[in-house]
Structure 1
Amino acid sequence: MSAQRNDAGNAAVRTTVEKSHEVLHIENEKGVSMTEEDRKRLLLKMDLHILPTLILLYLLSFIDRANIGNAKIEGLADDLNLTGNQYNVVLSTFFVTYIIFEIPSNYVLERYFKSRPSWWLGIITTIWGAVMTLHGIVHNYGEITAVRLIMGAFEAGLFPGAILYMNNWYSKYELATRFSLFYVGSALSGAFSGLLAFAFAKLNGVACVAGWRWIFILEGILTVLAGVLTFFILPDTPEHATRWLSEDQRKYLRIRKDLQNGGTEADPVAHRFSWGLLWTVITDWQFYIMAFNFWSNNIPTYGLKFTLPQILKNMGYENETAQLLTMPPYIAGAISAYCFGRLSDKFKRRSFFLIIPQTLLIVAYAVLTPLSPHVKNNIGACYFAIVLACIGLYPINPGSSSWISNNLASPNKRALGIAYMTSLTNLGGLGSSYIFIDSEAPGYPTGFGTSLAFAIGGVIASVLLDIIYIRINKKRDEISRIEVMEKYSMEELAELGDRSPLFRYTL
């Protein structure tokens, strides 16, 4: 396929970014001396400066949105007199503002904080952490609903902002591994959430405050501290990283970013929002098929995070044991996310490393669905299925994120497209708040059945996207470079982005 791309004008430049020896050859011609070992050391240096902060922020974001499940079994629902489906409504209100504010947040980041992304990520983290502490002083259904609406608005910017941020540092086939490491924060949040809830709930009665309130207050304070630290420890851009990047390293990163974006430095005006750009994103067919990949992760993940402590209690475990038993499945999920991400980058194939974990997810829910009504008689099989579900769940989101990022050619479309994709994704989070219904315990046929259906839908979406991308690439290979250049100017090709006949979709 590389040979075909080398016959395709700008696609040849893009291919050089995908193969390290070609990158080094072109960039050496531009005055940058960088061996393969130098490149690996540079990537390690970037990883150590960038990823720990992002992982911490994402870990805290998932703890802060899912700890309500831990608080529930410590008495939240009883103390707030939540009845009927009010608990499910409280869960879903977070996603209303979370969905609405994702695109505006990425616009603010790209428009006003492009050179200082640490400021924007630090600001929103500090604010949602402060709002998290307010959960500890609510007294009724209306108050906790309002607090979660506010928290969703500020937390909305983290995921799309972090994905956009990493696109500005890493090249195409470095992203899946880094997205996976970033998403490890989500998996570990399940483990840490149970551990922190176990510890903080022991403060029950201290200062006449209930244990579930201490969970929110102390985890909110931890988030505020992390947000403040982000201002100081998260590097902004290679140009600002003069303390730990040499001049040659900064030049190398700038050149390869320009090459990947089409061979020239991007026009700053092109990054600004326009209604035409929004229309291009909204009418792009690939978002709507890719959404099923994200939903195959998103809907089962949130359903499981919100309900896992209760599922473990249904097995007969006490509160403390149930909180601790939430840890092993999420640790297994974190390891799985990293391994599949590495394999996806190594083999430069996204679809295969989505279909495999989605298949594991199908097996897990095929076990849980029939056995969970009699969970106390099938504890071993059900717990194994929960672990297997986490192994299948956590590679899907980073794999899907890297796939859609790879296939959005222009930086401006990528900025808006990532936020739009995340908004579509979190429509699933809104729905997942209602699939595990207390009255259906312990079998939860709606929850497990819905999760199984979306896992199957994810496999179908991955296969369908792979087939469509292959057909489009083959069709574009039939057009010669001369024919393309006779029909379009370079400016028109750049404006077409991934719809350009020179662009080849990543499979």
Structure 2
Amino acid sequence: MDNKTSPKHSVHIVEEKSSIEPAQDLYNADIDTSDVDERKLIRKVDLRLVPWFSLLYLLSFLDRTSIGNAKLYNLEGDLKITDNQYLLSLTVFFISYAIFEVPSNIFLKRMRPAVWFSFLMTMWGIIMTLQGLANNFGSLVGLRWLLGTFEAGLYPGMAYHLSCWYKRSELGIRTALFTSATTLSGAFGGLLAAAISNMDGVGGKPAWAWIFILEGLATILAGIASFWVVVGFPEDATFLTEKERAFMIRRLQGDDQFSAAGEKLKMRNVVSSFRDWKTWFGMAQLLGCDMPLYAFSLFTPSIINQLGFSATPANLLTVPIYAFAAIVTCCVGLYADKYGRRGYCNIVMLTIGGIGYIILIVSRNAALSYFAVYVATCGIFPVVPNTVTWIANNFEGSYKRGVSLALGISMGNLNGAVSSNVYRARDRPWYPLGHGLVLMYICLGIIANSVFLHLLKKENSRRDRGERDEVIGPEGLEDNGNGRFATVEDAKLAKGDNWSGYRYML
């Protein structure tokens, strides 16, 4: 299959050029891992990583989008802000969010994940709580900027952290599960906002203020707990035995994650992310699905509200939409893991989502529009985790993968600033401009995914034909243009995913 590694070309060169090439180094060769039960070990890792990450991302997405729920409870009127000022307060979040994602992923690798995630969550929980005390436009905008600054490191950090634990064919469903927290936050956010609205007037504070305060306090508690719950990387995870750590790293190295045992920070590893064409395509792909994601999450309650439902019923009607999206997201993740067809899944799901937005543009019937929202979710929620997984699958080198993931996600999130301004109050109740621009982004996503898929297939074919083979052997051998290395292991470590035996996943 296209997604399997086939190193025979490099090995062929070894056999022709050098008969003294040593066997592949085994990580901690003195440790016998023959009695480790792989399935039990993976379940153990799953239970420590996925549920807690899902909770953290649920809180993250809930905190950034709850302003959409708060708006229904007279946020604008109490703060005396215009619709344009409200949209600007949404926009500044995404700008700071995008700026700080790449530095955060570098810090994550340099520091303990437990320390970094705990710090980020506690800080943005405090900022979230303070939003409930905002009394004018300036204070709201400043707090939204700080919220984006501290939330920036969570999603790219968790996506990168998971990619350091699982094989490429295992990562999709795990990413889908914790990313499905976005759908659960939409459902839970609607229910929570409806419940909290009953506190209107308690302590002299309006319902929208209590939404911010209570959700912020929950985030602070989760941030403090993360210091003890979040685990490190495979080479230093204390919840595993020495045998289990060795086993985990060996299985990752067998999946062409050569840097699984650890990698020192070198600027060339960071720079290589910017120079790799795959990084730029990853940015285009996430641009095509992240803007629709944020537009959908921020404005679905308002769209339903404008179709004739009051604030609480509008929030409640978002619940089944997000539950449906969660199911579809996990099904796509499972399918892509099993069959290795991530690009094809993206193209199909984006097309379905585009159909949903075409219906929303032409519909003037509330029931039909509500149905179209379900169709639209298919082209938004499953595509985000599948794209993040696809990017992670095709980068080797832990720092390079971390930076490339953060760059792609930051570009997608930067376009959240666009999504914050496309659903204008004067366009209600049908919002033709907002739906039209989301459809445009979906079309860009389809194009970016199609071209990326074509280029990966083309590069795999070149490697199958031996056009990327390195020269392996002593210094006297002439470099053929693809590099000369003493051993295959040297070539793997030096070139990462550019090694001739590495095959890109489609």
2:81 is paired with a residue whose SS is coil
Query: In the alignment, what sits opposite 1:106?
Result: 105
Q: Tell me the distance in 2 between the aligned counterparts of 1:293 and 1:124.
A: 27
1:297 aligned residue: 289
1:475 deviation in Å?
Answer: 1.1
**C-alpha distance in structure 2 between counterparts of 1:388 and 1:395, whole Å:** 12
1:250 to 228, 245, 249: 245
2:395 counterpart SS class: coil
8 Å contact from structure 1 (residues 27, 33) kept in 2: no
1:440 is aligned, of 418, 421, 427, to: 427
State the one-letter code of the partner of 2:359: V
* TM-superposition CA deviations, 1:251-296 (whole Å, max 9, x none): 2102223344565765642x34x2x444322232222223332123
1:274-353 matches, within 5 Å, as 274=267, 276-353=268-345
User: Corresponding residue for 1:43?
Assistant: 42
Secondary structure of the corresponding residue to residue 137 of structure 1: coil
What letter matches 2:253 in structure 1?
A: D
The one-letter amino acid of 1:444's match is Y
Q: In structure 2, which of residues 462, 484, 488 is the aligned counterpart of residue 475 of structure 1?
A: 462
**CA contact under 8 A between 2:198 and 2:207: conserved in structure 1?**
yes
Letter in 1 for 2:107: V
CA distance in 1, matches of 2:211, 2:279: 37
Query: What's 2:145 paired with?
Result: 149
User: How far is 1:447 from its partner?
Assistant: 0.8
Aligned position for 2:494: 495
Deviation of 1:219 (Å): 0.4
The structure-2 alpha-carbon separation of the partners of 1:267 and 1:217, relative to structure 1 and needing over 3 Å to count, comes to closer
Q: CA deviation at 1:7?
A: 1.2
Asked if 2 retains the 8 angstrom alpha-carbon contact of 1:8 and 1:480, the reply is no
Which among 228, 236, 246 is matched to residue 232 of structure 2? 236
Is 2:97–2:414's contact at 8 Å kept on the other side of the alignment?
Answer: no
The alpha carbon displacement at 1:159 in A equals: 0.8
- Does the CA-based 8 Å contact 2:470-2:500 persist in structure 1? no
The answer to which of 164-173 and 332-341 deviates more is: 164-173
Identical aligned residues as a percent? 35
Could you list the runs of 5+ residues in structure 1 that have no partner in the other structure? 12-24
Partner of 1:394: 381
**Contact 2:7–2:502 (CA under 8 A) maintained in structure 1:** no
Contact 2:164-2:234 within 8 A present in 1 as well = no
Cα RMSD between the aligned structures?
2.5
Deviation at 1:120, TM superposition (A): 0.8
Q: Which residue of 2 aligns with 1:207?
A: 203
Is the deviation greater in 294-303 or in 251-260? Answer: 251-260
**CA deviation after TM superposition for structure 1 residue 385, in Å:** 0.9
Structure with higher helix content? 1
Tell me what 1:15 maps to: none
CA distance in structure 2 between the aligned counterparts of 1:500 and 1:158, rounded to whole angstroms? 31
CA distance in 2: counterparts of 1:237 and 1:207, whole angstroms: 45
Letter in 2 for 1:138: A
- The CA distance in 2 between the partners of 1:10 and 1:181, in whole Å, is 38
Letter in 2 for 1:5: S
Deviates more, 1:211-220 or 1:428-437: 428-437
Of the structure 1 ranges 70-79 and 160-169, higher mean CA displacement relative to structure 2 is found in 160-169
Distance in 1, Cα, partners of 2:423 & 2:52: 33
Q: Which residues in structure 2 correspond to 1:40-439 (within 5 Å)?
A: 40-111=39-110, 113=111, 116-243=112-239, 245-261=240-256, 263=258, 268-269=263-264, 271-272=265-266, 274=267, 276-371=268-363, 374=364, 378-439=365-426
TM-score between both structures, scaled by the size of structure 1: 0.89
Deviation by residue 1:72-126 (Cα, 9 ceiling, x = unmatched): 1100011111114111110000011111111111111112x1xx21111111011
**In structure 1, what is the Cα distance between the partners aligned to 2:259 and 2:88?**
49
Paired amino acid for 1:45 = K
Deviations, residues 189-212 of structure 1 (Å, cap 9, x unaligned): 100111110011110001110000
Residues 205 and 10 of structure 1: CA distance in aligned 2, closer, same or farther (over 3 Å): farther
Report how far residue 355 of structure 1 moved: 1.5
Q: 5+ residue gaps in structure 2?
A: 13-25
Residues 474 and 41 (structure 1), Cα distance of their counterparts in 2 relative to 1, 3 Å cut:
same
Contact residue 160 and residue 402 of structure 2 kept, 8 A: yes
Residue deviations 1:33-90 (CA, integer Å, cap 9, x gap): 268xx32222222111111110011001111000001011100011111114111110
Q: TM-score, normalised by structure 2?
A: 0.89
| 2:440 alignment counterpart | 453
Shift of 1:143: 0.6
- Paired residues of 1:33 and 1:248 also in contact (CA < 8 A): no
1:203-227 Cα shifts (integer Å, max 9, x gaps): 0001110000000000000111111
Do the aligned partners of 1:9 and 1:481 also contact (CA within 8 Å) in 2? no
